[in-house]
Structure 1
Amino acid sequence: MATVTSRTSALGSVRLTHLAALDVKGADAEKFLQGQTSAQVNLADGHFAPLTCFCTPKGRMLANAQLLRMGENHFRLLLSSTLLESLANHLKKFAAFYKAELTALPNLTFIGTGDNAQSPADQLGLHFPEQNFPEQVGTHSNNDQLCALRYPGRTPRWLLCFDHDINGDKISIQDDDEGRNAWQLEDIRSGLAWLTDAQQDHFLPQMLNWEALGGISFKKGCYTGQEVVARAHFRGQVKKRLMHISVGAQALPEVGANLTNSDDKAVGEVVVSAFNEQGDVELLAVMSTKVMEETVPVFLAGAPATLLPLPYTIERVDPEQLAVGLNN
């Protein structure tokens, strides 16, 4: 385990350093992405920002992301900064056959902001009309200052993306591990895990509950890895699932750390973790489904772990239906 001394704080406004963006532009941008990503790309309409993922031909995830349409023939993928370069290099091999240009944007400024006494615009000192902030999870709004994306969470929160560095602006934000821990904890409690380079090419999308979050379209045509992903879904072959767990610990576990049963046999592995308000650790781990089905005792580094509920059921959610619901 990695020793970490920070604890969670109330979610305010914090600079997020774990995210980056990849822009895809050009006359063939939509056609190109349609053949590579699990999303139905035309659902990204400048309002709805579907979750998506990119896979190997064997259906293993190279990256998961959120897909935004920023303008005509202009899409933006938000993903882990650790996967930005590798995904860009992977996609460039296919983009060469299309009128599509990929631009990695490692230096965009991302701020996570929660709902408090002030509006998100006021607390950041921005001239972004409150009525333009997206109210529904998975939707976004843009203007010439920023892009605001509504995130899931127990209380309203937004991811703000700036095309310029805001260090010189009069904006009061946290820039510390404690603030980022609070944001990460909300992701964990939302059952939302962003893949990093430590576990790239390791999981089927369903192992991160991606179809339960609307991140896989089973109605679109072919994309890289689609056959394997579809077969796993329709034949019920997914025997590992993302689960929410708490454990009493003084340090955060490493990504990939094993969770074990009473016989010290590995039954899962950590994907992401954060401290909670009590100083314990909450995490998302890809676990054998037997843990839930057979109520198997689970341990992390010898400490007993507790299985917590997720805020959604493990069943397929079609992004096409999500998009319809947002427009009604």
Structure 2
Amino acid sequence: MTTHASPVTLSATATLEHLAALDIRGDDAEGFLQGQTSAQVNLADGHFAALTCFCTPKGRMLASGQLARMGEGHYRLIVHASLIEPLMAHLKKFAPFYKVSLDAADAVLLGASRRDAETLADTFGLALPTTAWQQSQADSDAAIAVCYPEESGANSNGWRWLFILPAAEAEKLDCRGDAARWQLADVRRGLVWLDADQQDSYLPQMLNWEALGGISFKKGCYTGQEVVARAHFRGQVKKRLSLGYLDAATPPANGAGVTTDEGKNIGEVVASAPAENDQTAVLAVLNTRPLEKEPALAIEDATLTLAELPYAIERVDPEDLASGVTA
């Protein structure tokens, strides 16, 4: 890694304090994760960082996340920071049956646009990945970079990159970007990072997780797999994630109700972020059952206008995504 006498100033890089990482290490780490996560774990091979989720036996999500392989017997799971302790406590119930350890990673997560991503890649000796969900890692360092899909919308900054750095190395950087800008990009991409208050509330399909390639329907059993598979193959998902823009500058709280002009509650907010023109971009889980008419929607008396998601609501197999990354 290149060393610098003074901090590297990065105006388009934000410290993502709402995200954190959990390290899973040990000879049985792959087998342990295979029985708990919706991802096909061997797809996380150091080149492809797989979206995944953890569920209850009833198929309700305990966490949405992303799984990266750091090295032999070492995986790093990216989740909402509030979930590190409760998810670790949940997984430790199963850990005694495997040779694994679980620890909060001593790492900092950064979100960067291209102009800073190239600087960071050079600083930490990384090849900058250029395909969505592609991972790169320096041979001699724990730093990794993951390419995220291009931000959608007229005000898009294009492709973006998530960097995970050792905390000691991150202290040498002067990051001046706005984390809310990264969160807005996630909302516009229809990507939800569940927090601790949202555990055990949603089937993965309610958050369009299969449309993002976050569920492998080709792997064997994992906790909640039977319910998740049945919901997919029988089409029993009655609520779905939708994108919209709220005529209010202040984001609503997660869980805030979405109501029709007749006062009927048809869903709730799961993520939001300030957008341009005193609006807020919102992701809400809404009833899929057609209404008799297209009603006006509101959240706490502010008008909500639905927008098109940047992906189709259809199954995307992570096996296909991984083959595209490593081809």
TM-score over 0.5 for the pair: yes
CA distance in 2, matches of 1:174, 1:229: 41
In structure 1, C-alpha distance between the alignment counterparts of 2:240 and 2:183, rounded to whole Å: 19
Shift in Å, 1:156: 1.1
Q: Which amino acid aligns with 1:240?
A: K
Q: Which letter does structure 1 place at the counterpart of 2:119?
A: D
Other-structure match for 2:164: 161
* Residue of structure 2 in register with 1:211 after alignment: 210
CA shift digits 1:286-327 (9 cap, x unpaired): 111136895332111112210011110000001111112223
| Moved beyond 6 Å, runs of 4+ | none
Question: Are the aligned partners of 2:272 and 2:283 in contact in 1 as well (CA < 8 Å)?
Answer: yes
Task: Check conservation: 2:108, 2:170, Cα contact below 8 A.
Answer: no
* TM norm structure 2: 0.90
**Residues 70, 292 of structure 1: alpha-carbon distance in 2 compared, 3 angstrom cutoff:** farther
The 5 A counterparts of 1:110-259 are: 110-116=109-115, 120-122=117-119, 126-129=123-126, 132-143=127-138, 144=141, 146-154=143-151, 155-166=158-169, 168-169=171-172, 171-174=173-176, 179-259=178-258
Whole-angstrom distance in 2 between the partners of 1:235 and 1:196? 28
The amino acid across from 1:62 in the alignment is L
Greater CA deviation, 77-86 or 150-159? 150-159
| Partner residue, 1:87 | 87
Q: Is the 8 A contact 2:38 2:215 kept in 1?
A: yes
Distance in 2 separating the partners of 1:124 and 1:58: 42
Shift of residue 168, structure 1, vs aligned partner: 4.3
Instruction: Give identity over the alignment, percent.
Output: 52
Task: Label 1:153 to 1:104 Cα distance change in 2 as closer, same or farther (>3 A).
Answer: same
Give CA-to-partner distance per residue, 1:91-147, whole Å, 9 cap, x none: 001011011111122x5211110123xx52426872435xx1111111111121611
**Distance in 1, Cα, partners of 2:98 & 2:170:** 37
- TM-score (norm: length of structure 1): 0.90
Q: Gapped runs of 5+ residues in structure 1?
A: 1-10
Deviates more, 1:71-80 or 1:318-327: 318-327
The worse-fitting range, judged by mean Cα deviation, of 96-105 and 210-219 is 96-105
Distance 1:110 1:126 in 2: 16
Q: Pairwise mapping of residues 277-296 of structure 1 onto structure 2 (< 5 A)?
A: 277-290=276-289, 295-296=294-295
Change (3 A) 1:122 1:30: same
**SS of equivalent residue, structure 2 residue 168:** coil
Looking at structure 1, the residues matched to 291 and 39 of structure 2 have their Cα atoms a distance apart, in angstroms, of 29
Any idea what SS the aligned residue of 2:93 has?
helix
Name the count of aligned residue pairs: 309
**Cα offset, 1:164, TM superposition:** 2.1
Distance of 2:67 and 2:256 partners within structure 1: 30
State the alpha-carbon separation in 2 of the partners of residues 30 and 293 from structure 1. 49
Asked if 2 retains the 8 angstrom alpha-carbon contact of 1:193 and 1:208, the reply is: yes
Quote the Cα distance in structure 1 between the aligned partners of 2:191 and 2:148: 10
The alignment partner of 1:70 has SS state of strand
Q: Is the 2:132–2:325 Cα contact (8 Å) retained in structure 1?
A: no
**Which shifted more, 275-284 or 216-225?**
275-284
Amino acid of the structure 2 residue aligned with 1:133 = L
Q: Name the SS of the counterpart of 1:236 in structure 2.
A: coil
2:300 corresponds in structure 1 to: 301
Asked if the contact 1:150–1:158 (Cα under 8 Å) also holds between the matched residues in 2, the reply is: yes
Task: Evaluate the alpha carbon distance shift between residue 273 and residue 265 of structure 1 in structure 2; reply closer, same or farther with a 3 A threshold.
Answer: same
Distance 2:123 2:77 in 1: 24
- CA RMSD after TM alignment: 1.8
